[in-house]
Amino acid sequence: MALEKKQIMALVTEGLQEDKSLFLIDLQITGNNNIKVIIDGDRDLSISDCVSISRAIEHNLDRELEDFSLEVASCGATEPLLYPRQYKKNVGRKLSVITVDKKIEADLINVDDNTIHLKWTAREPKPVGKGKHKVEKEEKIAFEHIEKAQVIINFNK
């Protein structure tokens, strides 16, 4: 008898109620009852956050009835941003954002319920004469127009 996703989701949801700053990114149950839970938070996650969710699941399942493996992990630094809460946590960081018609690498300035606000510097041809000059650019992009967004990790700082 395989574990039901609905049953595991209920346990994850109950575990997340203990700390409202945590939220679910993904839940997968593959063959042989391999359970994988990916969480994120409004703040940086700790190992104890993952342990807490793991215990909320594991302590409420009976291995005598159904054997399983369980992995609870935080969302990786290079994983795409999927939810507005993830964007809010990354205000002030540089993002790579892909929409239907363009790719922008810019600083995330602000996030509201429907859009992200980006700011960056671009080199464009001068309006008069030859050469290029730096231009400050800003754009608001609605969440529904974002195909993919990721934080750009800078190791030079």
Spans of all domains in the chain: 5-74, 84-151
In the chain, the N- to C-terminal Cα span, in Å, equals: 51
Pairing between β-strand 34-41 and β-strand 22-30 as defined by DSSP bridges? antiparallel
pTM of the entire predicted model: 0.83
Residue 65 neighbours by CB under 8 Å, 6+ apart: 1
User: 50 is written with which tokens?
Assistant: 């993952």
**Across the strands, what pairs with 107?**
94, 119
pLDDT at position 20: 94
How far is 18 from 13, CA to CA, in rounded Å? 9
Q: Which long-range contacts (CB under 8 A, 24 or more apart) does 62-67 make?
A: 65/1, 66/1, 66/2, 66/3, 66/33, 67/33
pLDDT at position 63: 86
Q: Check for a shared fold between 5-74 and 84-151.
A: no
Question: Any idea what DSSP says for residue 39?
Answer: E
What is the tens place of the pLDDT at every residue in 74-93?
998 889 999 999 999 999 99
pLDDT at position 76: 87
pLDDT at position 1: 52
CATH of domain 84-151: 2.30.30
Q: Which CATH number is correct for 5-74, 3.40.50.360, 3.30.420.130, 3.10.180.10, 3.30.300.20? A: 3.30.300.20
pLDDT at position 143: 97
- Judge contact between 37 and 27, C-beta under 8 A: yes
Helix, strand, coil shares, percent, the chain, to 5: 25, 40, 35
Residues in the chain, pLDDT under 70? 1-2, 157
- Judge contact between 25 and 39, C-beta under 8 A: yes
pLDDT at position 157: 59
